[in-house]
C-alpha cells in the first residue's frame, strides 16, 4: 500500500434547508432531505450535520460535519 493525499479543491457549505434536491420518506415514517449524485442516486443527509461539497466537475456529495472539519482546510481567498 502507498499513501496518497488529495490535491483538488472543493467548494463547500454547511448543508441547510433549501440545498436539498428533495425529501424522501423513511421506513420509520420520518422524512429526510437528499441530494442527487452524478449517478442519479439519492444521498441522504441531515441539515446542519453534513457539509455539501461540489467538486471540479460539478459533482455533489455530503460529508459528515465532524469528518469534514477534521479533514478539510479552508483556502483563504478561495471564495467564489
- pLDDT tens profile 18-52: 999 999 988 888 899 999 888 778 888 999 999 99
Rounded distance between C-alpha atoms, residue 54 and residue 1, angstroms: 28
Question: Any idea which residue has 483538488 for its cell?
Answer: 8
Cell of 80: 467564489
| pLDDT of 75 strictly over 90 | no
The reported pLDDT for the residue numbered 80 is 57
DSSP character string of 8-36:
---EEEE--TTS-SEEEE-TTS-EEEEEE
Number of neighbouring beta carbons within 10 Å of residue 56: 9
Top-confidence residue, 78 or 17:
17
Task: Pick the more confident residue, 58 or 50.
Answer: 50
Amino acid at each position: 500500500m502507498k499513501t496518497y493525499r488529495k490535491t483538488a479543491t472543493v467548494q463547500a457549505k454547511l448543508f441547510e434547508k433549501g440545498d436539498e434536491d428533495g425529501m424522501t420518506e423513511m421506513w420509520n415514517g420520518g422524512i429526510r432531505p437528499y441530494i442527487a449524485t452524478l449517478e442519479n442516486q439519492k444521498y441522504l443527509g441531515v441539515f446542519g450535520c453534513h457539509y455539501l461539497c461540489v467538486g471540479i466537475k460539478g459533482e455533489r456529495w455530503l460529508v459528515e460535519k465532524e469528518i469534514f472539519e477534521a479533514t478539510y482546510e479552508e483556502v483563504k481567498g478561495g471564495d467564489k
